Amino acid sequence: MRILKVIDLSAPIEHDGVVWPGSPAPQIHKIYIGPPTGTVEVVTFHTHTGTHMDAPLHMLENGVPIDRIPVASFLGDGTVVNLSYKKPKELIVPEDLEKHGSKVKKGDIVFIYTGWCNKMGFTREYMYEFPGLTEGAAKWFVEKGVKGIGIDALGIDPYVEPSTRSAHETLMKANIWNVETLVNLDALLNKDRWFFIVLPIKLAGCGGAEARAIAVDLVE
């Protein structure tokens, strides 16, 4: 196999950057700059900051923590579904996904492009009005037998009051991980199949962790 292209799908973690509403913003402070010690920073953020993976423990009381998810599940073939036509607050339903059903194979990693990564900022639209999955849409992925999904918004469940986590719970009960706040998915729309790698930090006993996600274009 030969690598033609590698695309970074991870959002940078920035000081006072955007996070889920009500969560503490990341803090990055330099404590040493230059020689003789070198440049060193102290970084403080919660485990669901920036591009991150949710472990079953995030929503399920007895769920598996991030460090115990089999590492082999973090990489594999997959595809992107383009749902950029979804409007603010519009839900993602099974009918949206079924339009792309022929592209999704058992064992795939599937990323959802809504276009919300291009709206990133401290705005109501980005933080509160992103399209989220219904429970039925989550069940669609379970029935397809995928091993992981991702989205370019702050969450896979919509932001509503009272809060819902039905998509998270449906996927996690089926041992399907999810990654949120992806970027650059629009750069993947020119072909159907990619090789994805999503590597979360190995934080012992945690319900999630920041992750570096990439897409690799491979040819034989």
| Helices of type H across 57-165 | 94-98, 124-128, 135-144
In this prediction the pTM is 0.94
DSSP 24-67: PPPEEEEEE-STTT--EEEEE--TTSSSEEE-GGGTSTTPPPGG
Query: Residue 175 is encoded by which pair of tokens?
Result: 């041992």
- Find the mean pLDDT for residues 100-118: 96
The domain defined by 2-12+47-219 carries CATH number 3.40.630.10: no
Residue 162, pLDDT > 80, answer no
- Alpha carbons 74 and 93: distance in angstroms, whole number: 25
Cα Rg of the chain, angstroms: 17
Q: What is the mean pLDDT of the chain?
A: 95
> Taking the domains of the chain in order of start, what are their residue ranges?
2-12+47-219
- Alpha carbons 6 and 61: distance in angstroms, whole number: 37
- Find the mean pLDDT for residues 197-205: 97
| Helices of type H across the chain | 94-98, 124-128, 135-144, 166-173
pLDDT in tens, 74-84: 999 999 999 99
**Binning pLDDT at 50, 70 and 90, where does residue 38 land?**
confident
